[in-house]
Every structure is written in structure tokens, then in C-alpha cells.
Amino acid sequence: MLKGISPLISPELLKIIAEMGHGDELVFGDGNFPAVTCAQRLVRADGHTIPALLDAILPLFPLDYAVDYSAVLMAYNTGEEPKVWSKYREKLKAYPEGNKQLLAIERFTFYERAKSAYCVVTTAEAEKFANLIIRKGIISLN
């Protein structure tokens, strides 16, 4: 156990986010996401929701300044925007580069993008169309 690191972040997930470089993407899949099919690297976060994992990871994870969006979402095909999206906006805007638009892309395009992501984190998120991708930025050392 480490000080200042949320217990929601497993040792495996901590290693993954530490080794990621600028531009690498991290996918959070909801409970219905085909994580095993899409993942180059897979981390299980059983029992955890995506908003809870964002709370744990975002203090450690710089978001990419070089893109026009804070995160990528799987576009929904229902009448209403998924409620969890407003939670994502709230959590992301608290961090540098997190107050940009959210980019929604078509489901199969999202799957293809997830296949090239650095890692997929599978979660217990129950809301439909809750899948999310964040892109790692840089940490300035000066």
C-alpha cells in the first residue's frame, strides 16, 4: 500500500498508468464492453464504477493538451444522453486539460479505437454507453 494512492488502483493498474507515454489511451469499459476481445492489455477492476476509478486515477494521470477533447465516449443510440456522462464532465473539468468537449464516436469505431489503446480497464459500471477513453498527456518537470 502507498500513501496518496487510492486503494481502487490495483498494483497492475498503477504499473500500466506509470508506463504509458504521451498520446497513449486508456479505455474504461462498462460491464457490457467486450474488453477481452478488444484489449492488448487488460486490467480488471471488478466491483468498481468508472466515476470512482476516475476519482482515483485523474490525480495521477495528466490529460493530453494536444487534442480538442477531454475524453472519447461511445455514442448512444437512445433518446437521452447517459446520466454518467455528466459525472465524467464534472470529474474531468477539475484537472488541467479536462474542461474540453467530450468526443462521442460510433460504437464500432469506438471498438476499433479500443483495440489500439494501450490498455482496457474492465469495470462493474452498469449504465449503458458508459465506455470512456482518456488520453495521457505530459508532466512538465520544470
What CATH number should be reported for the domain holding residue 104? 3.40.1650.10
For residue 25, list its beta bridge partners. Answer: 135
Which residue is it, cell 479500443? 114
- Is 142 among the domain residues? no
- The per-residue pLDDT string of the chain (142 residues; one tens digit each, 9 = 90 and over) reads 789 999 999 999 999 999 999 999 999 999 999 999 999 999 999 999 999 999 999 999 999 999 999 999 999 987 889 999 999 999 999 999 999 999 999 999 999 999 999 999 999 999 999 999 999 999 877 6
In a domain, 92, yes or no: yes
Taking the C-alpha atoms of residue 78 and residue 116, their distance in angstroms, rounded to an integer, is 27
Q: Is residue 114 part of a domain?
A: yes
| Model pLDDT, residue 66 | 94
Which residue range forms the structural domain that includes residue 56?
23-135
Q: Is residue 14, in this structure, part of any structural domain at all?
A: no
pLDDT value of residue 142: 64
Beta-bridge mates of residue 105:
74
The domain tally of the chain equals: 1
Domain-embedded: residue 1 = no
Does residue 103 lie within any of the structural domains? Answer: yes
Alpha helices in 45-106 (DSSP H): 50-57, 84-92
Q: Is residue 5 part of a domain?
A: no
Annotated catalytic sites, by residue?
Answer: 22
The pLDDT value given to residue 54: 98
- Reported as type and span, the H/E element at residue 112 is helix 107-115
Model pTM above 0.85: yes
Residue 101 lies in a domain: yes
